[in-house]
């Protein structure tokens, strides 16, 4: 029952890697997988790199090569919902690829021309566990936790106009660059997936500055939830 844990950047997995001092490292394709135990659970922890292609390939190997029977993505996101602040947490109930456009052939914005290609749900049980874990961590109170749709695309969003458009068109709470890809390959494979994101910026012109300033601190909030979640998983 290996839990696959992914983050896009070093900073997103740092708090977890610190707690796996004797981990066995194995390279596969472009990724280094850290195998060991976290909170007594066998895990494979990996940095996918940024973007949907890297995330999909990384998640696929996590399941097929490293035997992950659950996958949890932890990391940062830009806020789309105007009530979200830096340090708040969004747990995905579903994800959409906001940068997919096959509307010329009658598909909806964001819809990939394949069955179930528009909205990819996360696993309800694993997501409920993430919620419980989030509420149990001391770093956030329930008012700073949201659940709902996260948008994914191969773009770091840095404009108010784009934020308005994404909100209008896709009703997402937050935007990031990997989650929908991971959720999609997990769904195809029948492996439960959860996506947890802490807000690092508000996806406006200030986003790169905020991201640099807050990434390390905020990434730990999301990673802390994963640690708490591992304690809730049946052995
Ligand atoms: N991850 C964190 N902030 C982001 C943003 N503004 N756009 C896309 N991905 C992000």
Those residues with Cβ within 8 angstroms of residue 83's Cβ, 6 or more apart along the chain or in another chain:
none
Q: How far is the CA of 155 from the centre of ligand 1 (A)?
A: 8
Q: Quick check: CB of 203 below 6 Å from ligand 1? A: yes
Helix residue spans in 24-87 (DSSP H): 52-64
Q: How far is the CA of 218 from the centre of ligand 1 (A)?
A: 13
Nearest CA to ligand 1 atom 9: 176
How far from each other are the two terminal CA atoms of the chain, in whole angstroms? Answer: 8
Q: What is the pLDDT of residue 218?
A: 96
201 classed as catalytic? yes
Q: What is the pLDDT of residue 203?
A: 97
Task: Report the C-alpha gap between 159 and 206 in whole angstroms.
Answer: 9
Q: Quick check: CB of 214 below 6 Å from ligand 1? A: no
Nearest CA to ligand 1 atom 3: 78
Question: For residue 207, which atom of ligand 1 is closest to its CA?
Answer: 6
Q: What is the pLDDT of residue 140?
A: 63
Q: Quick check: CB of 7 below 6 Å from ligand 1? A: no
Q: What is the pLDDT of residue 114?
A: 86
What is the full per-residue pLDDT of the chain (235 aa) written as tens digits?
999 999 999 999 999 999 999 999 999 999 999 999 999 999 999 999 999 999 999 999 999 999 999 999 999 999 999 999 999 999 999 999 999 999 999 999 999 998 888 999 999 999 999 999 999 886 667 779 999 999 999 999 999 999 999 999 999 999 999 999 999 999 999 999 999 999 999 999 999 999 999 999 999 999 999 999 999 998 7
Nearest CA to ligand 1 atom 2: 77
99 classed as catalytic? no
Q: Using alpha carbons only, how large is the chain's radius of gyration in Å?
A: 16
Q: Quick check: CB of 4 below 6 Å from ligand 1? A: no
Q: Judge contact between 153 and 98, C-beta under 8 A.
A: yes
Helix residue spans in the chain (DSSP H): 10-17, 52-64, 124-136, 160-170, 179-189, 207-232
Q: Quick check: CB of 48 below 6 Å from ligand 1? A: no
């Amino acid at each position: 029952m290996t839990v696959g844990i992914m983050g896009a950047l070093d900073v997103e997995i740092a708090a977890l890697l610190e707690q796996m001092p004797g981990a066995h490292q194995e390279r596969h394709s472009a990724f280094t997988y850290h195998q060991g135990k976290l909170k007594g659970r066998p895990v494979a922890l990996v940095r996918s790199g940024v973007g949907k292609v890297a995330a999909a390939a990384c998640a696929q190997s996590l399941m097929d090569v490293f035997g992950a029977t659950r996958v949890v993505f932890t990391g940062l996101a830009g806020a789309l919902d105007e009530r979200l602040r830096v340090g708040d947490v969004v747990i995905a109930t579903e994800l959409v690829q906001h940068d997919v456009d096959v509307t010329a052939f009658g598909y909806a914005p964001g819809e990939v021309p394949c069955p179930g290609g528009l909205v990819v749900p996360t696993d309800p049980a694993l997501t409920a566990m993430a919620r419980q874990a989030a509420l149990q961590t001391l770093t956030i109170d329930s008012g700073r936790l949201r659940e709902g749709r996260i948008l994914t695309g191969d773009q770091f969003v840095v404009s108010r106009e784009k934020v308005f458009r994404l909100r209008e068109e896709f009703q997402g709470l937050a935007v990031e660059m990997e989650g929908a890809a991971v959720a999609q390959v997990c769904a195809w494979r029948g492996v439960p997936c959860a996506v947890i994101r802490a807000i690092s910026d508000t996806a406006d012109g200030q986003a790169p500055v905020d991201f640099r300033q807050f990434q390390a601190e905020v990434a730990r909030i999301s990673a802390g939830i994963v640690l708490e979640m591992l304690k809730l998983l049946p052995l």
